[in-house]
Amino acid sequence: MFYAELYNIPLSKVKWITPRQTYLLQKLKIFSAGDLLNHFPFRYDDRTKSSTIQESVITSKPVTVVVKVIDHQFIYYNKKKHPKIIIQDETTRASLIGFNRQYLKNSLKIGEKYWLNAQFVYKFNEIQASSFSFEKFDENQPPDEFGKILPVYKLTEGFLQKSLRKIIQKALISIIGNLEDEIPEYIRKKHNLIDKIEAINNIHFPKDFKYLQKARLRLAFEEIFAIQLAVNMKRRNIKSVRKNFSYPENNMLDKYIGSLDYPLTEAQKRCINEIILDMRNTTPMHRLLQGDVGSGKTTVAVSSLVLAAENGYQGALMVPTEVLALQHYNKISESLESLGIKTALLTGAMSASEKSEIYRQLENGEVSIVAGTHALFQSEVKFKNLSLIIIDEQHKFGVEQRIAFAEKSQNPDILVMTATPIPRTLTLTVYGDLDVSIIDEMPANRKPVKTFWVKKERYKNMLEKIEKELSMGRQAYFIYPLIEESDKLEIKSAVAMYEKLKRYFKNRRLALVHGRMTSAEKAEAMNDFKDGKIDILVSTTVIEVGIDTPNAVAIVIENCERFGLSQLHQLRGRVGRGNLQSYCFLVTKEEVNEESEYRMQIMEKHNDGFKIAEEDLKLRGPGEILGVKQSGLPEIKIKEFLYDEKLLNVAKQDVLTILKNDPELSSSINSELREGIIRFLPSDYLYSG
């Protein structure tokens, strides 16, 4: 049995897990034996060495110590009686405060010795600990949870660490003994990697920290190797296909570029040339276009759409929101009107009659370019000769949605775009099947946005600064995470603050935009803002990507502690899109945790989206940033190795060598790869011959 097959064993088939434990495990998104063994510890308690109570007080760290119970006492707190257990090691006396743990007087008996793990502090004129675990000390028998490295797992309410450890221990004993190794022996020997069973055992219950590191390295290599194998097989599959489209003409493309009222940057020119070369190749284009907010990706994308249209084909641009689809449609139709290229908009919010008319025009070829949302991959949408598909912010669409869209044509050229700069290490993994173009240059007239972290005492000064900018004829955004006030969350809402801001900026024109408004209402507000009829746009994150108003020079993002770094950077990108100095104000509550404070400092210090993406990767991991789960690839668990470019390149070179010598993995030495990894990959990754 290979590890991936464990995901086919539901918890109900694991006999030592009770129904209640199954319920609690499912709250942790653990539904199978595979999920259970893949629920890795997030840290470890080192209980291998005995220490002293005094050492804990001095270092402010937990210690493992053997103590003797001296006395039972009580304290009163919140009108309730709580046990206070007096203990002593060889030199020091201390108290264990057992809030709501009435059983302690029976569990910790006077005169008996116990193993104890606790962090002690000097408080109320005594040394004490209120968080601790213990076990009976027996000179003739080794302890269950002391004298070793113990895993610490993410839990849910009602589940104890001890219970989860026992469940996983039993699984390790009864399930993984028959596991086969996905990584062939010759690769393990080449890199001195431990085998799979040893790695799984030591990631959960390591013999020592040296073995823990070996386990993490082995499992990280396997994750990266599997992804490299998947994306390179998919890449080879793509390169084996021939397409029916050709693009010899480019007069109209030259006219489009010549009609722009700004010069292209060298980076834009380079990316356009890379895309044109791909489109003129005999194999379908599969390219990723990435660049920072405001770097001019849309112009590059429209250039490719013009090339397709000029040569008699259709192009489609799919985006995640109706607001962005509308903006792209307006921009594209306006810039291409003089070239005689007909464009259309298709979103889910359009009326049935409007959709029906667009369906007709797409099917008979009247429309050359369509911009739209997920409505584009619905079964009713048929194209006459679709050759180019562009997906913007593609990680916001599921793999099934992207496949459904691509099936609208036979072997189309595909360009995916992201305004979330992707760290190079992730590009080598998640996007390894794509060629990459990077717009690494901003337009010459752009000034870096000045960013400030604002707390309560500076809020009034911020409003005064914005009023000063408004008085010069400029505009501002105010962004909030919620539409309406929440009883559970003490954060400002767009609706409530819209009313307050109207009172403060009483001589200014304000508009409100949020996701519950109709498409027509959102479009009207956005167009009024772009046309200068609105001074302040109050919005939720519906304007996160793509909205382009050069006269907007200030953005206030409230409750910033609720946003990730990449999302904050995306929102900041709504300003600084012209030649005016722009400002971003990050508003938080007075007290924030260390991670939120760190995020604010990063935003103040850096405007470079790639630097911010690297920091965001470290804080949140790749799944949340890029939608790795939506890619069809396995989730990356051992995240710290994603920063190890050397390991990524080693895995990639191994894969390329294997596929060169054994393209279908048919040899016996690669049977583990074929049966243990390839068999479980999504079908669109497999080599079709």
Q: What is the pLDDT of residues 640-681, one digit of tens each?
A: 666 677 888 898 899 999 999 998 889 999 998 888 887 776
At residue 370, the pLDDT reads 96
Across the range 492-502, mean pLDDT stands at 85
Q: Looking at the structure, give the CATH architecture of the domain made up of residues 450-606.
A: 3-Layer(aba) Sandwich (3.40)
Query: Pairing between strand 369-372 and 435-439?
Result: unpaired
For domain 49-147, which CATH number applies: 2.40.50.140, 1.10.287.70, 3.40.50.1220, 2.60.40.1180?
Answer: 2.40.50.140
The position carrying tokens 């390169």 is 239
Please state, in angstroms and rounded to a whole number, the distance separating the CA atoms of residues 567 and 420.
8
Structure tokens, 450: 């000045």
Q: Looking at the structure, give the CATH architecture of the domain made up of residues 251-439.
A: 3-Layer(aba) Sandwich (3.40)
Identity (one letter) of the amino acid at 133?
S
Q: Is the pLDDT of residue 638 over 90?
A: no
Structure tokens, 458: 């500076």
Please state, in angstroms and rounded to a whole number, the distance separating the CA atoms of residues 466 and 463.
5
Residue 520 burial by Cβ neighbours in a 10 Å radius (0-12, 13-18, 19+)? exposed
Q: Write out pLDDT tens, residues 596-613.
A: 888 899 999 998 887 887
Domain(s) labelled CATH 3.40.50.300 in the chain stretch across 251-439, 450-606
- The continuous run of DSSP H or E covering 587 comes out as strand 583-587
The DSSP call for residue 182 is: S
Please state, in angstroms and rounded to a whole number, the distance separating the CA atoms of residues 542 and 554.
17
Domain(s) labelled CATH 2.40.50.140 in the chain stretch across 49-147
Give backbone dihedrals phi and psi of 606, rounded to 5 degrees, phi first: -120, 140
Share of the chain above pLDDT 70, in %: 90
When computed from its CA atoms, the radius of gyration of the chain, rounded to whole angstroms, is 30
Q: Are 122 and 57 in contact (CB under 8 A)?
A: yes
Q: Are 264 and 412 in contact (CB under 8 A)?
A: no
Q: Are 127 and 114 in contact (CB under 8 A)?
A: no
User: How does the average pLDDT of the chain come out, rounded?
Assistant: 86
Structure tokens, 94: 């201390």
Q: Write out pLDDT tens, residues 225-280.
A: 888 888 888 778 777 888 889 999 889 999 999 998 889 999 999 999 999 999 99
Coil, strand or helix at 84: strand
Q: Are 388 and 410 in contact (CB under 8 A)?
A: no
Q: Write out pLDDT tens, residues 427-451.
A: 666 666 778 898 988 887 788 899 9
Least confident of 103-112, 216-225, 621-630: 621-630
User: Is residue 631 very low, low, confident or very high in pLDDT (cuts 50, 70, 90)?
Assistant: very low
Please state, in angstroms and rounded to a whole number, the distance separating the CA atoms of residues 373 and 355.
12
User: Is residue 509 very low, low, confident or very high in pLDDT (cuts 50, 70, 90)?
Assistant: very high
Please state, in angstroms and rounded to a whole number, the distance separating the CA atoms of residues 258 and 288.
25
Residue 486 burial by Cβ neighbours in a 10 Å radius (0-12, 13-18, 19+)? exposed
Q: In what order do the strands lie in the sheet with 435-439?
A: 343-346, 369-372, 314-318, 386-392, 413-418, 286-291, 435-439
Cβ partners under 8 Å of residue 506, min gap 6: none
